[in-house]
Amino acid sequence: MKKNGMLNSHIAKVLADLGHTDRIVIGDVGLPVPPGVPKIDLALRLGTPGFKEVVDAIAEDMVIEKVVIAEEMKAENKETLQYINDTFRDCEIEACPHERFKQLMGDAKAVIRTGEAKPYANCILQAGVHFG
């Protein structure tokens, strides 16, 4: 048994297989998953697990160079926006319209569904490279 780090075997496999610029999505309970993109469903009930909890766990194991969020988060979910800005202050953060966000999901390696029930609590994490 793995001692620490990402214990979810499906997420651990996706993270291990990521190359530079590959993307994964962490989404709220209502985010639609494009056909053909694998979904890892962590949702147990509304709010569990939360978006922040899942993002924190993944960020511990993933080199992240860029984060994409929906522009609508700025008006509809300021708490999550602040969390994204604080957590990823050393990364590029791109905001785009939610419809564009959903289009970008089409080439993701996986969508990880949380139980989060707040609007626009979604992000695309783009893999960087670890040289050290």
**Residue 59 marked as a ligand binder:** no
**Residue 122 marked as a ligand binder:** yes
Query: Which one of 13, 20, 74, 78 is the catalytic residue?
Result: 20
**Residue 83 marked as a ligand binder:** no
- Surface-to-core class of residue 32, CB atoms within 10 Å of its CB (0-12 exposed, 13-18 middle, 19+ buried): exposed
Q: Residues with Cβ < 8 Å from 94, sequence gap 6 or more? A: 66, 67, 68, 69
**Residue 120 marked as a ligand binder:** yes
d(CA 74, CA 8): 31
Tell me whether residue 20 is one of the annotated catalytic residues.
Answer: yes
d(CA 101, CA 120): 10
State both tokens at 46. 């509304």
**Residue 98 marked as a ligand binder:** yes
Nearest to 116 by CA among 52, 50, 70: 50
Which residues participate in the annotated binding site?
28, 98, 120-122
Which residues participate in the annotated binding site for substrate?
28, 98, 120-122
**Residues annotated as part of the active site:** 20
